[in-house]
Structure 1
Amino acid sequence: MDDDLHPDGAQDGREPRSGGANLLVFLALLPLDALVGGHAWLVVGMNGWAAAHNGEEATVPVTELVVSGGVPAAAGLALCWGRYWGAAVAQFALTAVLMAWLLSFQG
């Protein structure tokens, strides 16, 4: 007897989603990623502009970047919960690259 079948013959339904479904879900989340990434980029830029305008050393607002990185990371966790493994990996990779790029402005 197959382990993923119930006694009545119905499947368990816990298999991962298809590649096409992962791609569609990831593409659907790109506007959210763009919104959060744009906000984080704006915060870094405004902070740098204000520091340059006041003659101070520019610093990166790490707390705001952590919060901005937490939103797509939470979306990635939700994708894991929904068994969209490929979309979750892409979401986490995109979040890591964006936050590393923004933190590189630390100078």
Structure 2
Amino acid sequence: MNQDRPGREPRSALANLGIFLAVLPFNVLPAGYAWLAVGIGGWAATKNGEQPTLPVWEIAGSGSALLAVALGLAWGRFRAAAAAQVGLTAVLMAWLLSAYS
């Protein structure tokens, strides 16, 4: 890879913040879906007197969608926004999984 080529440097902090804030509303869709799957699944199980089971596919699918967004941000050289996306995804998934521990 040629490091002397112009235009391949990482984006500025303001550009990272702007793209992260622009992508944040779209993150609500997969994150909200996972939150609903965990909440409604737990509610339905306790209403029927059963132990709640972890909705693995829903959590894995929504986490994968959020990490795909982070990969796209990193590919577009928005590395700080991608790191924040991965961090928020990890926090969300840990919070959702904590309901089953």
Same fold (TM over 0.5): yes
Aligned residues: 99
The residue identity in structure 2 corresponding to 1:27 is: L
Which position in structure 2 is the counterpart of 1:66?
60
The residue identity in structure 2 corresponding to 1:66 is: A
Q: Please, which runs of 5 or more residues in structure 1 have no aligned partner?
A: 5-10
The residue identity in structure 1 corresponding to 2:51 is: E
TM-score (norm 1): 0.87
Deviation at 1:34, TM superposition (A): 1.7
Which position in structure 1 is the counterpart of 2:51?
57
Which position in structure 1 is the counterpart of 2:20?
26
Question: Aligned equivalents of 1:96 and 1:14: distance in 2?
Answer: 28
Question: Which protein is bigger by CA-based radius of gyration?
Answer: 1
Deviation at 1:12, TM superposition (A): 2.5
TM-score (norm 2): 0.92
Deviation at 1:63, TM superposition (A): 1.6
Which position in structure 2 is the counterpart of 1:76?
70
Residues 37-52 of structure 1 mapped to structure 2, 5 A cutoff: 37-52=31-46
- % of aligned pairs identical? 57
